[in-house]
Structures are given as structure tokens and as C-alpha cells.
Amino acid sequence: MANYPTPHIHAAPGDFGKTVLMPGDPLRAQFIAEHFLEHPRLVNNVRGVQGYTGTYEGVKVSVMASGMGMPSIGIYSHELFNVFGVETILRVGSAGALQEQVKLRDIVLGQGACTDSRWAEQFRLAGTFAPIASFQVLETAVNVAREKALPFHVGNLLSSDRFYGDDAGVPEALTANAGWKKMGVLAIEMEAAALYLNAARYGKKALAICTVSDHILTGEATTAQERQTSFTDMMRLALETARRLEAQP
């Protein structure tokens, strides 16, 4: 086990709860802590990546930003899982819809995470590993979403290494997005696959809970301010999931 603090998390043993919510944006982490946690305490602010611990309906829960992309969430999830005793990470982020039935502001629960990343190569596998969520966590989140009558979808995400693609001049049917769309991928984001791979490697649990912030097919989009502060259904879903996980064996 590594020494405290780590290069990226200046915290001490016991500073984090067993479940950590991880938005990409540090300001979203601050918003969740200040609006939903009781007695939130700042436990990390290295590089401005804010991490807070408080309670939600009596259960100790933490929230800390992951930054953007798989290398970034790969670092933070590795340290949380291996150094700070975290058992479950719930990514709470945004995604771009890739199917007509997925609407702006709908929630996508990432049952699996396809990827164009080479993150898995470090594990020296003799084949292709399928990064998937923890069924226990996914089942819990689905039950909560149904009870709250939230608009949600369960299926594959695409965790992509690129935000800006070089598809100019390429026929629409041959673009990268068209290929993933025809395979039923619901939405595109940039972190879940690395999180799922790290969770698998270290015997931990993870789930990506994403709100659709933009629609790749229609061009609809939310603003940066809306992504930071208004995706509250996703936040409440994640927090209630964390609370129920604490009560499970």
C-alpha cells in the first residue's frame, strides 16, 4: 500500500467514504457537496481537484472530481481504490447521445463501456477484455431510477480518447460514430472504460451514471453552467444508490 498522501490526493486514512461519486468537473463536485451532503469537509484540493466527504441521510459519502479523460480518472480511481480504501466509484458525468430514443437530459447507466483507448494493454491480456459495471451497483441504480420515475436507459457507452474527431470530408456512413451507432452504443463519454478496467483489476465496484448533455444526431446541447449545476436527477440517483449500497452485504 502506498504512503499517504499520494502525488494527486493530499488526504489521510479515513478521509474518504467507501463510495465516492466522481464527476469530471471540480465545480460539479463542489456543487454536489454543498447542496446534497451534510457537513461536507474538503479533504483534497491538489491541482484544484476538489474532494469532499460528508454524510447523505446518515451514510458517509465522498465526492471528488476525476478530470477529463481516461488517463485522469485512471490515476484518481487507482489511488482511491488502492490507497484510500474506497470500494465503489460512481462516475456522475455527461455524455453525448448516439441513438434517436435517447433524449437530452435522459440518464444513461453504463452496463458496459466500449472504447477506442488502449488502456487495457497495460494488463497484458491475451485477448480483448469487456469492461463492464458491477451488477450489484447497476441493479441498485436501476431500482432507484424506476422508483423515482427517471428517464433512463441501460446499455453500452463508448469511452473515447477523442473529443474532436478528424472526420471532415468522410462520408457519414463511414465515420467512427456511425460504426458505434449501428452497434447500439447509447452515448459517448470519455472515462468509464478506464474506471471499469481499474475496478476489475483491483476487485472493486464501479458504475457510470451519465446525463445526456448533447445529442450527436440532432445537435441539441446544454450549456456548461447547466452541466455543472442542473443535472440533479443524476446526482440524487447516485447518492441514493450509494446509501443503499452501504446497507447491502
Residue 112, amino acid: G
d(CA 103, CA 41): 35
For residue 213, say whether it is annotated as part of any ligand binding site: yes
Alpha carbon distance 142, 154 (integer Å)? 8
Report d(CA 85, CA 15) in Å as an integer.
Answer: 10
* Residue the block writes with cell 469487456: 130
Q: Which residue is catalytic, options 106, 161, 214, 233?
A: 214
Q: Is the peptide bond before 5 cis (omega within 30 degrees of 0)?
A: yes
Mark 120-137 as b/e (b = at least 16 C-beta within 10 Å): beeeeeeeeeebbbbeeb
78 assigned binding-site residue:
no
Residue 169 annotated as lining a ligand binding site: no
For 8, 62, 158, 226, the CA distances from 215, given in Å and listed in that order, are 33, 30, 14, 15
Which residue, among 72, 172, 166, has the nearest Cα to 117 in the 3D structure? 72
Q: Is 226 annotated as a binding residue?
A: no
Residues 90 and 207: beta-carbon distance below 8 Å = yes
Active site residue 214: yes
Q: Does the annotation place 91 within a ligand binding site?
A: yes
Residue 100 labeled ligand binder: no
93 marked as binding residue: yes
Binding residues for a purine D-ribonucleoside: 8, 189-191, 213-214
Which residues carry out catalysis?
A: 214
Binding residues: 8, 24, 28, 47, 91-94, 189-191, 213-214
Binding residues for phosphate: 24, 28, 47, 91-94
